[in-house]
Structure 1
Amino acid sequence: MDWSLSIDKAIPKPLRVIFRGVGQVFFCCNAVTGLIFLIALYVGGITAGLAATVGVISSTVAAYLLGFSDDDIDAGLYGFNGTLVGPCLFLFLENTPQLWVLVVLASILSTIVLAALMRILQPYNIPASTSPFVLTCWMFMVAVYSFDGFARGPVLPEPGIPADIAAASVVAAEFATLTQDAAEAWYTAVTKGVAEVMFADSVIVGILFLTGIAITSLRGASMALAGAIVGVALPICLGADKTLIEMGLYAFNPVLTMMAVGWVFLKPTTGTAILALLAGVLTVICQAGLANFLAPIGLPTLTFPFVLVMWMFLFAASKSKYWGNSH
């Protein structure tokens, strides 16, 4: 929206770059949107908000000091991975004063990994997106086993062999009924699905995120909402774990995938919206497969299902006479 762009340009450059970095988590190069996202994170929890702030500042400052592209830095492209690193490490590792040091180091590393992947992927016109965040956090999560000064948090999955879930039919029955409870369950799962992109287990945060996206683009917000719905509906049909569905943990990856394919990287048309829907569906399957694949080493999927599916669709689109007109 024009008014938000005017405010964006009026914000002092250092703050504008930081806020844009937060906004780029949802592909929004808009400081107003980024500010709303950051406020939403603080609403969800002070620690998460502080961790995201430290992460985005560390990764952005590192990009400046390392002499990376000023245009990329100004657009917030070196900030969004750091934004995700902070809340992620505080969610999955033990909350100690030393963890702040890890957040700074991991955020700096995410900037270096991003620059490297941008160089590797540049000939193919494919974005690195959140892959630096995923690779960096996986490394730090596994590294804690080697140091007494750091420890796993209770949320980090225990290594183990994947097992079939039980009572899957109960899930479909609960969400399929035409009752107020079913409507509330859908509303909660969908909004939390958007919030979980930044590890927030909160309906209010999800609503604020959608509002921030809508300020930048109504199509972007519609793609995000559609992705969240796909991330609830499909797991219900397939009989996924009820708790994971209710927490929105199957929805946050399709949110990003549908935004990337249906709004950001391909020409926004009805055709790309349909392609985005297919990508969102496949992201749910990919997430389930990756979750089982990573279970023996006790690592969460994070946003890697989104990254994999987005990469495959964008590579495929470049070969298609229908979808090849990418941005």
Structure 2
Amino acid sequence: MNWSLNLDKMMPAPLRVLLKGAGQVVFCNNAVTGLIVLAALYAGGTVTGLAATIGLISSTATAYVCRFCQEDIDAGLYGFNGVLAGACLSIFLEHTPQLWLYIVLASMLSSLMWAALTRMLRFFNMPAATSPFVLVSWVFLVTIYAFDSYTLGPALPVASMQSAALDIGALSLETWFSTLAKGIGQVIFTDNTLAGSMLLIGIAIATLRGALMVIGGAFIGIVVPAMLGVHASAIEAGLYGFNPVLAMIAVGWVFFEPSAKSAMLAVLAGILAVLCQTGLTSLLSPLGLPVLASPFILTLWIMLFIVSKSRSWSSPEKATETS
């Protein structure tokens, strides 16, 4: 929207870069959206919001010190992995003084890894996306769990046929809204309906199509896992919503030209993200690790690879130019 872009330009450059980094969590190169993302993080929990803010500052400052591409820094591409890494560690680790040191180190490492992975994956026309945050978070969780007295938070539940499977037909309108909002909110590690609603508004400010993709992804995150027999509590907490949300907005708006064909591909990506999550959850749960955004990343890379080999689809936008 024009008013948000005008407000964006009025901000001091350092603040604008930081807020764009927060906005890139949901693929939006928009400082106003970034401000709403940060507000949503604080709505989900003060500690989580503070951890995300520290992660954002640390990862962005690292990019400046290392003199990475200024254009990428200005677009916030060195901020969003730090936001997610900080929020993640605040959720899955105990809140002790050492936590803040871990957050700073993980966020700094996420910027270094983003630069390295972006350069490596450029040969395959693939984006690094949120893979640095996922890899860094796994490394820190495993290392700290093995060598410190920390304990990990609960991993995402395994998809299986159970008597407590969700009955979609019995859901009230209020439950539908709450579950959809939580699925969106889990993008930033919260099952807070207010936070999820704020994220949707922030995305809608930058792109209405992207907001529709987000709603579609959250819907898939309810219906598909319910059909697979995933435990109702996991679905109602939004744990199977955030990966299809990310997959649909990435495929349906970010990495492909907006069209009816890319919208269809986005729906397939959302379904595939849920299937990937059920499989990866079964694989990672015994290790005590959450899947985080790995199903989304795997889905995105699969979709980009398939489309690049298909003559019936137009070539995807350059993956290296977008988060």
TM-score (norm 2): 0.95
**CA separation in 2, counterparts of 1:152 and 1:109?**
22
CA contact (8 A) 1:266 1:323 kept: no
Q: Which residue in 2 is equivalent to 1:249?
A: 239
Q: Which residue in 2 is equivalent to 1:278?
A: 268
Residues 1:325 and 2:321 are matched in the alignment: no
Question: Residues 145 and 45 from structure 1, CA distance in 2 versus in 1: closer, same or farther, beyond 3 angstroms?
Answer: closer
CA contact (8 A) 1:5 1:30 kept: yes
Residues 1:182 and 2:178 are matched in the alignment: no
**CA separation in 2, counterparts of 1:12 and 1:320?**
44
* Cα deviation digits, residues 143-168 of structure 1 (max 9, x gap): 013333x502443579xxx6945204
**Equivalences for residues 95-114 of structure 1 within 5 A:** 95-114=95-114
**CA separation in 1, counterparts of 2:2 and 2:20?**
16
**CA separation in 2, counterparts of 1:157 and 1:80?**
22
**Equivalences for residues 17-56 of structure 1 within 5 A:** 17-56=17-56
* Cα deviation digits, residues 99-129 of structure 1 (max 9, x gap): 0000000000001111110000112221100
CA contact (8 A) 1:214 1:221 kept: yes
**CA separation in 1, counterparts of 2:57 and 2:31?**
14
Q: Which residue in 2 is equivalent to 1:60?
A: 60
Q: Which residue in 2 is equivalent to 1:87?
A: 87
CA contact (8 A) 2:159 2:231 kept: no
**CA separation in 1, counterparts of 2:160 and 2:126?**
36
2:174 is aligned with what amino acid? E
2:302 is aligned with what amino acid? M
Number of residue pairs matched by the alignment? 317
**CA separation in 1, counterparts of 2:79 and 2:159?**
37
Q: Which residue in 1 is equivalent to 2:320?
A: none
**Equivalences for residues 284-295 of structure 1 within 5 A:** 284-295=274-285
**CA separation in 2, counterparts of 1:156 and 1:271?**
35
CA contact (8 A) 1:91 1:155 kept: no
**CA separation in 1, counterparts of 2:124 and 2:159?**
38
Residues 1:235 and 2:225 are matched in the alignment: yes
TM-score (norm 1): 0.94
Shift of 1:292: 0.2
**CA separation in 1, counterparts of 2:263 and 2:159?**
35
Q: Which residue in 2 is equivalent to 1:296?
A: 286
Residues 1:196 and 2:186 are matched in the alignment: yes
SS of 2:141's equivalent in the other structure is helix
Residues 1:310 and 2:294 are matched in the alignment: no
Residues 1:261 and 2:251 are matched in the alignment: yes
Q: Which residue in 2 is equivalent to 1:223?
A: 213
Residues 1:7 and 2:21 are matched in the alignment: no
CA contact (8 A) 2:156 2:291 kept: no
Out of 146, 154, 162, the residue aligned to residue 166 of structure 1 is: 162
* Cα deviation digits, residues 4-59 of structure 1 (max 9, x gap): 11111111010000000000011000000000111111122111110010001000
Counting aligned pairs with the same residue, the percent is 52
Runs of 4+ in 1 over 6 A off after TM superposition: none
Q: Which residue in 2 is equivalent to 1:137?
A: 137
SS of 1:98's equivalent in the other structure is helix
CA contact (8 A) 2:43 2:192 kept: no
